[in-house]
Structure 1
Amino acid sequence: MVWGSRRSHTVNTHVSDRQADRQTDRQTDRQGVHYFTCSNPSGGSFVRPGKASFGVDYLTAVQSLYVIDAEEVTSAEINISTRKLEWGRIKDRSFETLPTLLLGNHEVNGAGEDGEIRKTTPHVQFLDLGGTLMSSWEDVAAITKQLESLHTLQLNNNRLSLPSSPSTLCQAFLSLKVLALNSCDLTWTQILECAPMWPKLEDLFVEENNITELQRPVGVLQCLKNLNLSHNALQQDSLLSIAALPRLEQLTLLETGLSDIRFDDVPPGSVTSMFPALKVLNVDQNNITEWSVVDELSKLPGLVQFCCRGNRLASSDGNPRTANQLIIAKLGNLQVLNSCEITSDERRGAELDYIKMFGLDWLKTGASAAFTSTHPRYLTLIDKYGAPEEGELKKPVPFALKNQLLKIQFVFPDDVERKPIEKKLPASMEVQKVKGLLYRLLKVPAADLKLAYSSPKMEGTEFEIDSDLKTLQFYSIEDGDQMIVRWS
């Protein structure tokens, strides 16, 4: 069960209908007024009372779902984001020993008789109540106040009415560290209204809600370390409203429409006071196109992991590999990019290439304000590696064909008995012709061949060759690179 991923809506229709009914604005006047409003403005349904299920209490659901016999689960494991809960061996096969209860998408409607939960399932640490018939936070609190060891609670796909006095319910959530409220139709304002209930919360997942404008959490969420706001249409400027959270280490903003990030409290090359503890940032599948965003992120002193797949950050040569090198060079403390660890050799190669790539501009303008604002790490890299010389920065003039030949080593990782083959190929050679050459060597149809390449500069990293009509030069394949050949 992965909390950071997008969850499908699998709540039964009759369950969601009843939840919608419980949140309707009922009126007592019978003279032509609406008695309720559906959550979907274009539809609703009526169910005969005899055919509707009004659910069961917590313990009834537990007893019906967790009838344990000798042949059933003796060892199980549940993954929750980066956390792991082990069921272990249940020797006495009693509810009292269960650390985990998964009641999601079952018709739980409340706590039942007061005190019975504490007696029956006292050691529950992780509880899933997603997609149930719970209708209010008071109902949830009636359950959780009896689970003193509870640190992880999942309430995805529920519609819970807001509590009239959230602070009075905080005793029911004193041990809670992880909370998932994905797809609950909540605004950020409503989340802040509820936040006094969770004084020790560290991980909050609120994907696919109705969150657009963020406000600053004042006196709440101060222990928060991990926040996932993915799949919410966020307003650009409001992101900085959460920048003062003192312990926030991980922020996930996948598919939020983000196009810009700016820390205007300090000039380029300086350290911002915003997001003081942030280490991990995920902005996958957004609308980021400007390299200035990456330069702004270099102001975050603790940023060590960054994901930005599915954006339109492009280098001048259009090569994704070059774009990754630019990110590495611009973010000096980065250790992991797009879930791949950055090696010391990879960083050195990226930074040296960055110096050469923009060396002519630096020699022309010097350390001008315009240059340093666009390349705030450039002077730091010069201090690290030395200033570039004009001779090594001159752009190459056209040269003879023999000097354009690339020495490529073909390797076959899926065929350990086949020895590597070394060939000299022109940089202008198209991939489809390379496949034709391999067909003659291997007798494997070109359509079955899958190619990638690796470079000594970025050892351990493979780059996919995904177009037969592009040239080796397009992929920036260099002399001495390896081409990795696989086939189906």
Structure 2
Amino acid sequence: MAKSEKIFQIGDRIECSDSIGTVKYIGNIEGYSSIWLGIDWDDPNRGKHNGNFNGKQYFEASFQSSGTFVRPEKVEFGQSIITSIIERYGKKHNDSMPLEIQQELFNFQQSINAPFLEMVGFEKVLDKQSDFYSLQVVDLRNQKISSPGESNQLEQLSPNIKELNLSLNLISSWKTVFQICAQLNQLSWLNVSENLLIIPEEIEDYNVPTVETLICTTMRLTWQDILKVTLAFPNIEELRVPMNNITNLDTSPEVLRNLKVLDIEDNEIGEWSEICKLSVLENLEQLLIGNVGLKRIDFVGDEPKVNTFSKLKKLVISNNLIDNWDSISELNRMKNLEELRFIKNPILESESLANSFEIIVARIGNLKVLNGTELKSYMRKEAEYDYMKIYGLEWLRVKNTKVRESFLKLHNRFLELINMYGEPVEGELVVKSQSITNTLIELKFEYNGQIVIKKLPKTILVQKLVMLAQKAFKLNYRPNLIHMRGEESNLQINLEEQREISFYSMQDGDRILISHE
């Protein structure tokens, strides 16, 4: 359909010069001839005004500079999902066939109710349709889609689609999304991000039971909008809604009963108490709350373990404003937390990367993965042992004083660590330094009774230690290195070549044993 033939209406989504907007006004402008469209652009700075032109308010734009007027012939009003699929996936075997002919032939097959009938001269098109029929993962991002096409047309063309990306198109309403989904009985994954969609009042009339993953990024949705929309998706297990207008998280236990993964990153939420409103989602296993303005984590009550987020296994709280280790200690009160991503928070600037890693591991007893690193048993032992050495002197000073409880509240697992490793002995402890004054540490390399002492930077990789050992002891094989604390410790740690030695919190006098195994 040519642009001039389009019967446009308020609410239509359009594209012009690679920018997308919504039609907010159709009509005349004082002092100008012909019909104009008042457009509210998605880009807040794309327009010239807020709908007020020469002192007259023609429409209300979303932002002060997102409104402008455009002639209808200058804009694209979009196309059907059928046309988009044929354009995107129909060129593989027959680039020379014009799109109009492809569509005509497809419509003819429908009209005679013989979509797979082999006819002379139609073989190439039928082969192409067979390709369409087998499509399972379909990416239609930024394809100017605005409609579902004719009734049941999509179901006949590509009924086996399981994953569908409709992000950044010209769809104006969730009704269109539901009409598309109704034709895809195997659809389980749906991305409608970067579309500004009107939510129909009769949302209860729609049901998309097959979709388990729904992605709605950058759609200006509130949490209440999201809860309303998901009424049409009763079996969602994974919901990703970052970069929206979510501030309040009031949630009923009657919604999202099957939800296991929730991503609400990059929303202005701010308070942990608001996040805790999501604990009514009883099956939630993964929660992503990066960059939400979170300053502190603090559960209500004093019990060692809380029922809040009782099934949560993975938590992402990176890029927030957390400036205290108490918040990390609070996470130890979660019953099943096993994986944590915690980077780019102010508190991490108070310690070296290696020390921060060990502090987090020591404070959260159930943790199995930190920032993508699987915590092997020796890594946990090393972290907990170092933690006790760092804070052991302070413990010995306060354990029989009035400030004992304050210490234990701050160092939530210290008594547990004492039960595991024994009471700290003053002679084995170190004074916690507030700044890094020494950049070199002295290590003893030991091999078959030979000892070589080297002063090395804390940032050197274990891989370089291996090469130093090969050269120092003239080895014709690549050895394994084992780290031991000082002269008296029996704790042996196998070193991984890709890590810096600072990861293992090595200190002056530590031993590096050379092993052939």
Q: Normalising TM by the smaller chain, what interval? A: 0.7 to 0.9
Q: Is 2:243 the counterpart of 1:198?
A: no
Distance 1:312 1:196, change over 3 A: same
Cα offset, 1:200, TM superposition: 0.6
| TM-score normalised by the chain length of structure 2 | 0.70
**Partner in structure 2 of residue 238 of structure 1:** 274
2:321 and 2:345 in contact (8 A); partners too: yes
1:125 partner letter: K
The separation in 2 between residues aligned to 1:379 and 1:474, in whole angstroms, is 22
The separation in 2 between residues aligned to 1:43 and 1:282, in whole angstroms, is 34
**Partner in structure 2 of residue 258 of structure 1:** 294
Unmatched tracts of structure 2, length 5 or more: 1-13, 26-38, 41-52, 96-126, 433-440, 472-480, 484-491
How do 1:257-406 and structure 2 match up within 5 A?
A: 257-267=293-303, 270-314=304-348, 318-366=351-399, 368-393=404-429, 405-406=442-443
Q: Is 2:175 the counterpart of 1:146?
A: no
2:16 and 2:75 in contact (8 A); partners too: no
The separation in 1 between residues aligned to 2:348 and 2:54, in whole angstroms, is 63
How do 1:1-12 and structure 2 match up within 5 A?
A: none
The separation in 2 between residues aligned to 1:91 and 1:61, in whole angstroms, is 14
2:316 partner letter: N
Distance 1:351 1:31, change over 3 A: closer
The separation in 2 between residues aligned to 1:168 and 1:15, in whole angstroms, is 35
* Alignment equivalent of 1:247, drawn from 283, 299, 312: 283
Distance 1:454 1:211, change over 3 A: farther
The separation in 1 between residues aligned to 2:218 and 2:261, in whole angstroms, is 18
Deviations 1:427-463 (A, max 9, x none): 79999xxx9xx9xxx9xxxxxxxxxx99674732745
Cα offset, 1:92, TM superposition: 7.9
2:341 and 2:371 in contact (8 A); partners too: yes
The separation in 2 between residues aligned to 1:463 and 1:375, in whole angstroms, is 27
Q: Which secondary structure state, in structure 2, belongs to the residue aligned with residue 109 of structure 1? A: strand
1:349 and 1:458 in contact (8 A); partners too: no
1:384 partner letter: M
Q: Higher RCO, 1 or 2 (CA under 8 Å, sep at least 6)?
A: 1
Cα offset, 1:312, TM superposition: 2.6
Deviations 1:190-237 (A, max 9, x none): 112222111111111111112222222441112111111111121213
Distance 1:428 1:65, change over 3 A: closer
**Partner in structure 2 of residue 399 of structure 1:** none
Tell me the number of residue pairs that the alignment of Structure 1 and Structure 2 aligns. 409
Higher normalized strand content (fraction of residues): 2
Cα offset, 1:70, TM superposition: 4.9
Distance 1:290 1:184, change over 3 A: same
2:143 and 2:169 in contact (8 A); partners too: yes
Distance 1:478 1:266, change over 3 A: same
Deviations 1:50-90 (A, max 9, x none): 22221111111111111154599xxxxxxxxxxxxxxxxx9
Deviations 1:27-49 (A, max 9, x none): xxx99863322233213332221
Distance 1:51 1:154, change over 3 A: same
1:273 partner letter: N
Percent sequence identity over matched residues?
30
Q: Which secondary structure state, in structure 1, belongs to the residue aligned with residue 294 of structure 2? A: coil
Q: Which secondary structure state, in structure 2, belongs to the residue aligned with residue 306 of structure 1? A: strand
Distance 1:385 1:405, change over 3 A: closer
Distance 1:113 1:212, change over 3 A: same
2:295 and 2:320 in contact (8 A); partners too: yes
1:190 partner letter: D
Bigger Rg over Cα: 2
The separation in 2 between residues aligned to 1:209 and 1:256, in whole angstroms, is 11
Distance 1:337 1:430, change over 3 A: closer
Distance 1:18 1:393, change over 3 A: closer
The separation in 2 between residues aligned to 1:356 and 1:175, in whole angstroms, is 54
The separation in 2 between residues aligned to 1:342 and 1:278, in whole angstroms, is 18
